[in-house]
Structures are given as C-alpha cells and as structure tokens.
Amino acid sequence: MKNLNSNWVTEVFKDTALSFKIKEKLYSKKSKFQHIEIYETEKHGNLMSLDGCYMVTEKEEFVYHEMLVHIPLFSHPNPQNILVIGGGDGGTVREILKHQCVKSIDFVEIDEDVYKLSKIYFKNLTRGLANDKRVNFLFGDGIKFVKEKKNFYDVILVDSTDPSDISGGLFSTDFFKDVYKALKKDGIMVMQSESPFYDGEIISNVQQRLKKIFNKTYLYLAFIPIYPSGCWSFSCGSKKYSINKIRNKKSVIKGLKYYTHNLHKSILSLPQFVMDLMK
C-alpha cells in the first residue's frame, strides 16, 4: 500500500478506490440535496463530486456527454423537443444544442446549486446555455415533472447520479412508464445505467424494466476513466427506431472528440458478459 497524502482526492466504490492528485479544494458544502465538492486536479482540470462520487472532470467529460446525447439524437430522424432530467453540470444540454434541428430543451435538474457552481467552475460545460432561448431552465424534481407530460418529447435523457435517495426513483418501473407516456409515438429515452463490471445487477434490472414498457431496448458502452471500472453503460428504450442507425441528417457536428458515425453504427457490438446482463 502506497499512502496517498492530502494532495489526493479519493472515491471509494465498494472494494475499489480511485484517486486523483489535486492542486486545491475549490468548494465543499452540503446543498439541500447532497454534498458538493469541487477540486482543481493536477492534470484533469476541475473535478466535481456529489456525495463522494466523481461526476465530471473537465478533461474527460466529453465522453459521457457526447455518448449520452449523440447516440439518441442521431438515431432519431428529427429530434426537436428534448427533456433532460438531471445533468446539472450543463454538459448534456451543451451537446444537445449542437443539433440544429432541436427547438426546445426542458432542463430539469433537482439541485440548482450544481448548475450555479458549474457556471463558476465548469465554464466549458455551461457556456452559451443561459443565452440560448431553446433552453428552459426548470429546476425541480424530474420524476414529478415527467408525470405531467404526454406525447410531447422526441428524446428524453436521464443524466443522473448512481441510484440513491434522490435518484433511485429514476431507475424504477413507474418512472419508465411516465417517460414512455411523455414521449411521442416514435420517441427515444436514454439513461446512464452504471458499470457492467461492478453493477451488473442494476443493468439487468433496468433492462428488464425497460423491456416491459418499450418496444425496443438497448445497452451501449463508453470508456469513462473517472467512473468505477472505467466502463460505463447507457440503457435505452425506444418506441420505434433502432439505436444503431444514423437517421438525423440535419445535424452536422464538427469537433467532437469521442462520437463518430462509424462508432455509432457498431454501438451494439458488445462483450459477451455484457450481453449476458441483458437476457
């Protein structure tokens, strides 16, 4: 055991721990909902953790945000009305705005402090959001919000923390039913759904619940170095479209660092042990 001194931040996840060398702690305070900490790291830019779990680093955030957003938004032929639940750091909305066809984004984050702090410490994630008239800032409970909507959204994205007191409901059958109702008849939903290496049971449960509600369900993966195991899954429920075909020809996005159309087309080619989680 090498002992790490106070110049490191550590996230313990079950029997594993991941640490980053830091320059300084920038912020640490309990919001109404969770403990928010922000660090300046040595080489990964600023890092935010919520209740001790890493959410985002400036250097690696492109992977999560590009893969949560562009897979469904390129799979849908004409995504116009989007709902984002969670994602208070702004990165998900930033990526959605790159699609020219998008007309409106309802951005429902439960913890307004996360967004306010991101405006200060994660400027690359929040830049341009406040001035874009397509974004409706609706701070509040996404579970309640989606109950009131019917046949309205083309795409719903659930950008949550790990299942916990405040986010556990976002992994439930009742919530998925409400999401289904809130989507148009050809709508798509995607949510983050944990690591297949360390949380296979969560993935299996989410997949089984989605299968009871949606015509088509999918799982895909991305390399996310700051999350436990570095392998992260996204679960998808779709009413009509398969998730591995490019149908949205209206958007041309330059400068992406992870997503490519080629990668998109092969997104369903998964390791065997991950496919086994979907049975």
In the complex, the residues that contact its own copies under the rule CB under 8 A are: 1-6, 8-12, 14-21, 41-44, 52, 60, 62-63, 197-198, 221, 223-225, 229-231, 256-260, 262-263, 265-266, 269-273, 275
CB of 133 to its own copies, least distance (A): 30
CB of 20 to its own copies, least distance (A): 6
Distance separating alpha carbons of residues 197 and 264, to the nearest angstrom: 22
Q: Which of 237, 226, 227, 220 is nearest to 271 (CA)?
A: 220
Instruction: Output b/e per residue, 94-118; b: 16+ Cβ within 10 A.
Output: bbbbbbeebeebbbbbbbebbbebb
Instruction: Output b/e per residue, 32-44; b: 16+ Cβ within 10 A.
Output: ebbebbbbebeeb
CB of 61 to its own copies, least distance (A): 13
What is the CB neighbour count within 10 angstroms for residue 134? 16
Residue partners of 252: CB distance under 8 A and separation at least 6: none
Nearer to its own copies (CB atom), residue 74 or residue 180: 74
| Catalytic (active site) residue 15 | no
Distance separating alpha carbons of residues 101 and 248, to the nearest angstrom: 9
CA angle 268, 270, 272 (to 5 degrees): 140
Catalytic residue among 111, 113, 159, 178: 159
CB of 66 to its own copies, least distance (A): 9
CA angle 66, 70, 72 (to 5 degrees): 135
Contact 234, 210 (CB under 8 A): no
Nearer to its own copies (CB atom), residue 215 or residue 260: 260
CB of 236 to its own copies, least distance (A): 18
Distance separating alpha carbons of residues 135 and 126, to the nearest angstrom: 12
Q: Is 238 helix (H, G, I), strand (E, B) or coil?
A: strand
**Active site members:** 159
